[in-house]
Amino acid sequence: MQAMDAGRPTLLGESSPRIEDDRLLAGRGRFIADVAMPGMLDAAFVRSDVPHARLRGLDSAQARESPGVHAVFGGADLDVRAVPDRMPWVRPVRHFPLARDRVRYVGCPLAVVVAEDRYLAEDAAELVHADLEPLPTVDTVDGALSPDAPLLYPDWGDNVLLSVEADGSAVEADFAELRTISGTFTTNRHSAAPLEGRGVAAEFRDDRLTVWTSTQAAFVVRAMLAAVLGLPERNIRVITPDVGGGFGQKNEVYPEEYVVPWLAMRLRRPVRWIEDRHEHLIAAGHARDTTTDLSAAVREDGTIAALRGRVRTDLGSGEIFPAGYGPSLVAVGSLCGPYRIPKQAISVQGVVTNKTPTGGYRGYGAPEGTFALERLVDKIGRELGIDPLELRRQMILSPQDLPYETAAGAVLRSGTHRHAFERAVEVGDRMLAEEREKAEPGALLGSGYATYVEGVAATAFSITGTWSSQDSADVRFDAEGGVTVAVGVSAMGQGAHTTVATLVAEALSLPVDQVRVTMGDTDTAPYGLGSWASRSALVAGGAVERAADVLRRKGTTIAAHLLEASPDDLELVDGRFQVRGSPGSAVSWAQIAQSALNRTFELPPGVDPGLEARATYEPAGLDHVPRPDGKMNAAASYTNATHTAVVRVDATTGVVEVVRYAVVHDCGRVINPLTLAGQIHGGVAQGIGGTLYEHLPYEDGQPLATTFTEYLVPGACEVPDVLVEEVGGPAPDTPFGVKGAGEAGIIGPPAAIAGAVENALAPLGVTGIDSTPLTPSVLRRLIEEARS
């Protein structure tokens, strides 16, 4: 008994304005810095300015006497537990929110000062003296792996947090019989750098802790607070206000998120901490910093029979949750992309150094893996004299290949891999030709491509040791026929409210403006894991679809009773249950809600009052731990895309300008093209930044980019108009036919732009562009080496 909408056009695919934008653009958003409570105090953290030291003590006497200061606490003062090491397959870090005996990176929090306002707290923080006994520093992976390296965790015996050795027996024969072509590909360290930094506010009242924090996963934060502070989860409420960009960096749980709630409990006053940009660049999780050694066993026609190698990541000090090795695993899982590469044996090594801990950032390993493979494919083509695009054509998946299991275990059930590639090449050829027509003689122009698959709605178990992949939705009608839906995913600027409202309206045949969406509050939202891994549309959509099915069935039963008709004769059209062929015989959702909530005497026998449903959705077919053969299908579905970039290079200065850019993309059924385009454009902009500009270098453990003066991010002039074409249709294996698109824009730029730069510089003899960022100094050196 399921009445369906037989006549209304679908809402999916319409470019409608986002429902959250008016509030945000009018300045009515409430971000973490807007959280204010009577009697609220402000906190400032004392951070280490040395990368590695023994903490022998803290002298805070002068700070305690400063004007407006209420308290100063060091690590030994906090009666909290260590952050739990939930992953039994990695070395235990056992770190505390404030350093207790050892400092392992510049920016490590040593103490916290609480005062009447932030200015007073910062003034007093400068008066806290930390007695630090310097220890030898290691700030490179090679240095950390040397036999005489200083040890960050002496009881380990080395500096390796994670080591997964691949079984190479399956690829031995291929490498023994075929030609081997190898390369080393590096993506250097950079930051997500969201518009809004981090922040936390907390209040402890009536023996209950309420925490406001700029996070992507409120329920995960609640669980971690319970573990560290020793409170039951039921006595903790976590609220996510508006978030000015998360990008995976706010999917970590940071020391400040434990300390500020502890302060509120200890002082019995609300406390707030807001990060400044300097703190952000030295203390918020860094990203990338990965080197991939990759070899291919190559057949005579250039196609790849097998891959082997190692993904090695600089994890910084490792003092972060979830631990920063996750992107390395994703890089391994995404290496084969959409190509028929039957075998791989890739090891993973996560190494600790005296740098800020690395964690999540948009793309989460996929840009690194895609960069390595696409650059290697170009190298194979160059060494064998085969057009790299023709080489890709020989390997790329066709529709008849699906479903297809990659060498890493990813199961690709649907996609337009070959079509997206061919269309992107067509667009790229046209864009390059147009640029050449208007360019000055001798201009160095080139095009490059990157094609990949992106796992969406992944399991979190392999990086958290606790959480898997489910999410929930609570859909409730009011007596007027309006709907309130609460979901466990989170908003961070990506249009989640619009997405969820559209899916609910689609499922219940209602206008979008009759749907109200709430999220980001552990007291009012159903249990969910938040927004990361491009999961929101798929998992929230699955839960919404299941809850809506329950409501449609109940609505059909009530409508049939009111109309004295058979449920099988009803259809749902424009929010009304009507008898097929008799549109005049109909009742609306509002009438059904009246009967279910107010006029309950009108309900049919055996039907309980109320018109609400809660459902949980967990994607099928996921592997939460590797299978015995080491393979793992870690994502619910896989999008695909091909990027093409056209660049202009100034050989004198080494400056690269991305003049044209296009993305041909397949994320299943598109919910809202306007929102999707925003996601892709933003990801491409970040990808351009990481490829050409952004870098967090270190020297002797000291960070050299600690403000936006040294850390260069692209502006409007550095990001061209981005052409986005969607070539897919509804996915056959997902709710509503949707997949995900949150990270697709950032995966392709490193490989596409590097290929384009190499193509542009080919007349000068430049080859082997194998690392990012491609700063002017890097390119000038490559040009000079080629000329000499």
Name the H helices within 398-478. Answer: 417-438, 461-464
| Dihedral-angle region of residue 170 (phi above 0 means left; psi in -120 to 50 means alpha; beta otherwise) | alpha
- pLDDT given for residue 2 in this prediction: 44
Task: State pLDDT tens for residues 598-635.
Answer: 999 999 999 999 999 999 999 999 999 999 989 999 99
- pLDDT given for residue 346 in this prediction: 97
- Report the distance separating Cα 593 and Cα 136, nearest Å: 70
Which residue ranges make up each domain of the chain?
Answer: 21-29+470-617, 32-135+192-283, 364-461+623-787
- With a cut of 70, list the residues of the chain below it in pLDDT: 1-8
- pLDDT given for residue 440 in this prediction: 93
Matching CATH topology for 21-29+470-617 and 32-135+192-283? no
Phi, psi of 389 (to 5 degrees): -70, -40
- pLDDT given for residue 582 in this prediction: 87
- pLDDT given for residue 87 in this prediction: 85
Q: Does domain 32-135+192-283 have CATH number 3.90.1170.50?
A: yes
Neighbour order of strands in the sheet with 304-314:
160-164, 343-351, 304-314, 287-298, 179-190, 771-772
Task: State pLDDT tens for residues 10-63.
Answer: 999 999 999 999 999 999 999 999 999 999 999 999 999 999 999 999 999 999
Cα-based angle 719, 697, 337 (whole degrees, multiple of 5): 55
CATH of domain 21-29+470-617: 3.30.365.10
Q: Name the one residue in this structure whose structure tokens are 């793992």.
A: 632
Query: What pTM does this model have?
Result: 0.96
Using DSSP, how many helices (H) and how many strands (E) does the chain show?
20, 31
* Other beta carbons within 10 Å of 446: 22
The 3-state secondary structure of 339-397 reads: ECCCEEEEEEEEECCCCCCECCCCCCCHHHHHHHHHHHHHHHHHHHCCCHHHHHHHHEC
Cα 168 to its chain centre, rounded Å, is 31
Token pair recorded at residue 683: 């990801």
CA dihedral 332→335→337→340, nearest 10 degrees, is: -110
User: Closest Cα to residue 125, out of 39, 33, 43, 41?
Assistant: 43
- Report the distance separating Cα 395 and Cα 373, nearest Å: 13
Could you name the CATH architecture of 364-461+623-787? 2-Layer Sandwich (3.30)
615's CB contacts (< 8 A; 6+ apart) are: 472, 473, 475, 543, 544, 546, 547, 550
Pairing mode of beta strands 271-274, 41-47 = parallel
